[in-house]
């Protein structure tokens, strides 16, 4: 039996002309999609804002064609692309609304109200949206780090995620990076018939030893202490000059050298941060700013899809309860505080009993 009573969303609702949204979610990755699905199922008008051009977050961006095997219910694994498509379709069918290629710039407090509740204004690179609650699910990592020496080519053969190529048919591929994502990209390209060289800045890759062994088994070459010093496009192929003086001609370059941090965005939002730059939250996923929740990689240590789903659902339920029962969170915190005081009194009493005379 459901633990809530709501009026379902009407598919004929004019979402483009709402005076305000119940919930605005930042990020269409696993946590954001799960949160949106949950709030929409509870009858809340829900808008998801995504900086990229498609939903899915890291599973879609990093593992579009790779089987993810640690998700319960998929014994044979599922690709990031399929998982993202399924979750997105489910959210759309629940009447979650989406805006793509919009990046969050600020969340402002306003004097405007909706249903007797103060509204916030979510400001993006393309507009602004009034809402009652905000859930940050944009992840700690926004965009892949890029190599200016390659970007200057403006070549379609330079990729910052594994391209959807089913058969490289003997083409040459250079993978730049030594982490797990880079090694996974190298294995994938080798399995599709590519001749692969991996450029690692340090002496040895930082990724899994099994991935290194697999690359070598498939005939790939790993070049340690190797960086690109210059690059040019010659008759449709990329010519690379390395710091060792070696010239390498390749058909594709896949760059996997990490991501830019979202810390600057978080600082603009004026929310309390932890020492590692992630967002601090309370037990109800609320940040230091009332009505703004944070889930997934923006704060968590365990970066798994199922954890992101669970946090997105929990934060969505807390936001729903706060909307339908104002001050619900304050009452819960007061209850928690009373329990903590009782616990302290019991501990002190026990210490007194066992104190030697």
Say if residue 104 is in the same domain as residue 33: yes
Of 257, 283, 306, which marks where a domain is finished? 257
Output DSSP code: residue 273.
Answer: B
| CATH number (domain holding residue 298) | 3.50.50.60
Residue 3 lies in a domain: no
Residue 5 lies in a domain: no
Ramachandran assignment for 219, one of left (phi > 0), alpha (psi -120 to 50 degrees), beta (any other):
left
* H/E segment holding residue 124: strand 117-124
Say if residue 211 is in the same domain as residue 296: no
Say if residue 225 is in the same domain as residue 77: no
What is the pLDDT at residue 57?
A: 85
Say if residue 75 is in the same domain as residue 168: no
Q: What is the rounded distance in angstroms from the CA atom of residue 191 to the CA atom of residue 201?
A: 24
In DSSP notation, 204-258 reads: S-SS-HHHHHHHHHTT-EEETT--EEEEEEETTEEEEEETTS-EEEESEEEE---
Chain centroid to CA 260: how far? 12
pTM above 0.85, yes or no: no
The answer to whether 137 and 29 are in contact (CB under 8 A) is: yes
Say if residue 100 is in the same domain as residue 171: no
Residue 69 lies in a domain: yes
Write out the two tokens for 10: 């009407």
Residue 1 lies in a domain: no
CA distance to 165, 188, 253, 339, per residue, from 192 (Å): 8, 6, 15, 59
Q: What is the rounded distance in angstroms from the CA atom of residue 273 to the CA atom of residue 270?
A: 9
Residue 2 lies in a domain: no
Residue 330 lies in a domain: yes
Say if residue 85 is in the same domain as residue 137: yes
Say if residue 302 is in the same domain as residue 320: yes
What is the pLDDT at residue 1?
A: 38
Of 229, 257, 285, which marks where a domain is finished? 257
Say if residue 42 is in the same domain as residue 139: yes
The answer to whether 67 and 229 are in contact (CB under 8 A) is: no
Q: What is the rounded distance in angstroms from the CA atom of residue 314 to the CA atom of residue 222?
A: 44
Say if residue 91 is in the same domain as residue 151: no
What is the pLDDT at residue 165?
A: 75
Residue 356 lies in a domain: no
Say if residue 156 is in the same domain as residue 46: no
Residue 169's domain spans which residues?
146-257
Residue 54 lies in a domain: yes
Say if residue 208 is in the same domain as residue 283: no
Say if residue 40 is in the same domain as residue 124: yes
**H helices present in the chain, as ranges:** 30-41, 57-62, 80-93, 148-151, 180-191, 209-217, 263-268, 305-324, 328-354
- Per-residue model confidence as pLDDT tens for the chain (357 residues): 345 566 789 999 999 999 999 999 999 999 999 999 999 999 999 999 998 888 988 788 777 777 888 888 889 889 888 999 999 999 999 999 999 999 899 999 999 999 889 999 999 999 999 999 999 998 765 567 889 999 899 899 999 877 777 788 889 999 999 999 899 999 999 999 999 999 999 999 999 999 999 999 999 999 999 999 999 999 989 999 999 999 999 999 999 987 766 777 888 899 998 887 789 999 999 999 999 999 998 886 777 889 999 999 999 999 999 999 888 887 877 776 676 677 666 666 666 666 666
What is the pLDDT at residue 12?
A: 93
Write out the two tokens for 326: 């104002």
């Amino acid at each position: 039996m459901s633990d809530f009573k709501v009026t379902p969303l009407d598919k004929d609702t004019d979402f483009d002309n709402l005076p305000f949204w119940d919930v605005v979610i930042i990020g269409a990755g696993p946590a954001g999609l799960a949160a949106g699905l949950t709030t929409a199922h509870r009858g809340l008008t829900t808008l998801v804002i995504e900086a990229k051009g498609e939903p899915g977050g890291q599973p879609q961006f990093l593992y579009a064609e790779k089987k993810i095997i640690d998700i319960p219910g998929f014994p044979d694994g599922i690709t990031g692309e399929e998982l993202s498509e399924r979750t997105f379709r489910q959210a759309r069918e629940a009447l979650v609304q989406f805006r793509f290629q919009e990046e969050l710039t600020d969340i402002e407090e306003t004097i405007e109200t909706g249903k007797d509740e103060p509204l916030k204004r979510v400001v993006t690179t393309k507009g602004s949206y009034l809402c009652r609650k905000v859930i940050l699910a944009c992840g700690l990592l926004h965009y892949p780090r890029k190599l200016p020496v390659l970007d200057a080519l403006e070549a379609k053969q330079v990729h910052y995620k594994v391209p959807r190529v089913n058969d490289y048919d003997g083409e040459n591929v250079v993978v730049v990076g030594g982490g797990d994502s880079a090694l996974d990209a190298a294995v994938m390209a080798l399995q599709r018939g590519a001749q692969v060289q991996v450029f690692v800045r340090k002496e040895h890759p930082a990724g899994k030893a099994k991935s290194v062994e697999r690359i070598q088994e498939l005939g790939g070459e790993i070049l340690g202490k190797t960086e690109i010093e210059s690059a040019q496009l010659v008759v449709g192929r990329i010519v690379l000059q390395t710091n060792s003086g070696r010239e390498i001609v390749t058909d594709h370059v896949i760059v996997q050298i990490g991501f830019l941090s979202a810390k600057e965005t978080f600082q603009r939002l004026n929310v309390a941060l932890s020492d590692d730059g992630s967002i601090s939250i309370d037990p109800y996923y609320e940040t230091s700013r009332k009505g703004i929740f944070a889930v997934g990689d923006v704060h968590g240590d365990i970066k798994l899809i199922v954890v992101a789903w669970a946090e997105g659902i929990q934060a969505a339920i807390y936001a729903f309860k706060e909307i339908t029962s104002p001050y619900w969170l304050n009452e819960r915190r007061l209850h928690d505080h009373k329990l903590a005081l009782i616990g302290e009194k019991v501990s002190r009493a026990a210490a007194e009993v066992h104190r030697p005379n």
